[in-house]
Structure 1
Amino acid sequence: MKTLCFSLGLLLLAVCCCNAMPKAILHATTPGECCFKFSDRALPSELVADINKTHLSCWKKAFIVQTVRNRKICYSQSSQWALDTYNKLHNTEGSGHH
């Protein structure tokens, strides 16, 4: 009987640990922000401080532009201006290519 209780206890512990691990990883890598409304007006490049893609877990794929005034604006992934801006900022920084 002790062996059965010990075995069930180990099994329960293993299930809890295995169940908690993906959640911990998920919470560590989940996005801080997803986009639900999108702008369609391009910004002058001198106003763009940074641009990033939303996290893979966001329902709507988008770009988040951070302005020099620390404002964040969402652009649809199909926005050509946002795609060009993203490529311009991310392909030249640290790429080693000139």
Structure 2
Amino acid sequence: MKTLCFTLGMLLLTVCWCNAMPQAVHFSTAPRHSTAPHTCCPNVSNKTLPFKRVTSITVTHSSCPEQAFIVQTVIGRKICYEHNSTWAQDVYNRLN
């Protein structure tokens, strides 16, 4: 009976530890200005938006092949803009 309780206890601890580890790694590697550890932009837009339609803007993760801005609109749509876009840089400076 003691062996069964010990085995079940060890199994429970292992399950809890395995579940907690990916979350701990996720939070320790994610930069504070990024939307996610590996959010990259496969394509970018050239169309500007009215400033009132932008809710947030973030920079892509440093591991992405190209740096870009990710703009989130009031309806929840995410649009990528080139890092050297003057419009995106202006919005980023106004919101941050």
Instruction: Give TM class, smaller chain.
Output: 0.5 to 0.7
Segments of structure 1 that go 5 or more residues without pairing to the other structure are: 1-23, 91-98
CA RMSD in angstroms, aligned pairs only? 2.0
> How far apart, in 1, do the equivalents of 2:61 and 2:91 lie?
18
> How far apart, in 2, do the equivalents of 1:63 and 1:69 lie?
18
Structure 1: which 4+ aligned runs deviate by more than 6 Å?
none
Sequence identity (%): 47
1:54 aligns with 2:79: no
2:91 paired residue number:
85
Report the TM-score when normalising by structure 1. 0.62
Bigger Cα Rg: 1
Partner of residue 66 from structure 1, selected from 72, 79, 86: 72
Count of residue pairs brought into register by the alignment:
67
1:75 aligns with 2:89: no
Residues 54 and 64, structure 1, Cα contact 8 Å, conserved in 2: yes
> How far apart, in 1, do the equivalents of 2:48 and 2:37 lie?
24
> How far apart, in 2, do the equivalents of 1:83 and 1:37 lie?
18
SS for the counterpart of 1:49 is: strand
Question: How far does the alpha carbon of each residue in 1:20-75 deviate from its partner, in whole angstroms, 9 at most, with x for none?
Answer: xxxx47x8436241001000011000100000000111111000000000000000
Report the TM-score when normalising by structure 2. 0.63
